[in-house]
Amino acid sequence: MAQRFFFESFQWSTIEASDDDDELIKFHVRCFGAHFQIQYRLHDLSLSPYLLKQFQDSLTLMKICELGDNLDAERALEEIHRLRQPFEELMIKLAPNPPPSYDYLSDYLYLPILILEAIATTQSSTAVQPNFKGELPRQSRVPIGQHISIWGHWLNVIIDDDREVLQHWPRPSKEDLYKKWGRDGCFQDWTDEQYADPNFDLKRLVGMLVYYIDNKGTLEEIAPQSDNEHQCRWATELESIVGELHSAGLVWGDAKPSNLLIDQNDQLWLIDLEGSYTPGWVDENNRESQKGDLQGVERIKEWLAKYDNKSTHCIGFGKNE
């Protein structure tokens, strides 16, 4: 199976805020088996007036993002994805293929950081030259996650076992844990030692591991190109999944097509059960409720029906009931 790359985060700094008298945009891209830090530095691009101007424009977008609204943040992310494009071929070359594993968190989190840098090779350069600079020294790396105080005995991992949550001993209530983690500044738990990087002797907080879903994309991305049979089946499957969720006393919350994954077997998976809502899919007065979930399901079905190119016999497909 081919590698897949995931954008993680970006940072920027100006000469005034930098310790090395340089302006910088850097961002992180992960895949299974490799972690890339892509760097755009003023000194590396100053040879070309064209690339220097592009870098300064990009840096301006980063600054606006910090103080602006959601639209400014989207523009900054679009700019980061543009800056990433020249490095796609180099990342594919350096990343292990096939990936070492989709089964172990360590194959995603605990990896050497490979530094890729953008270089202006001549005064007339209009495109950066991607360069593999080397591996970030281990002493410069910060372990993934955050510190957290311990509840009773060590917790190995928290598993979502369908309708039961927090199965491992000790067994405080979910509310107790959320309050505790909230005081520690996070909502995560310890990684089992067997998956931790042995070079770091500090236990670190890295997140709640449930399942990795090998997917084709979201319903929002896949449905417009799909046939009527799949659209009809997904409408019915969505009703069934949300019904099971509700029978367990749980709420989806942010019901919308982009929060539904399509796996390699064309089955639906609900994601983002953190609450909230998206206007247009769920009304504010129905937010974070089972009623809101049902409203979202009906609107998703109506949305699917827009891509229906022929009549369908799927009961309730695209109708408000």
Average pLDDT over residues 221-250: 90
Could you list the beta-strand ranges (E) of the chain: 6-13, 24-31, 34-41, 113-119, 129-135, 160-161, 164-165, 215-218, 260-263, 268-270
Q: What pLDDT does 146 receive?
A: 46
Residue 269, pLDDT above cutoff 80: yes
| Residues of each domain in the chain carrying CATH 1.10.510.10 | 215-307
Instruction: Tell if the pTM clears 0.85, that is, is over it.
Output: no
**Fold of domain 215-307:** Transferase(Phosphotransferase); domain 1 (1.10.510)
Q: What is the mean pLDDT of residues 241-251?
A: 87
Query: Residues 146-190: pLDDT tens digits?
Result: 444 444 443 334 444 444 443 334 455 555 555 555 555 444 444
Short-list 7, 185, 180, 212, CA closest to 105: 212
Q: Closest Cα to residue 84, out of 6, 154, 159?
A: 6
Asked if 232 and 254 touch (Cβ cutoff 8 Å), the reply is no
**Section 289-296 average pLDDT:** 93
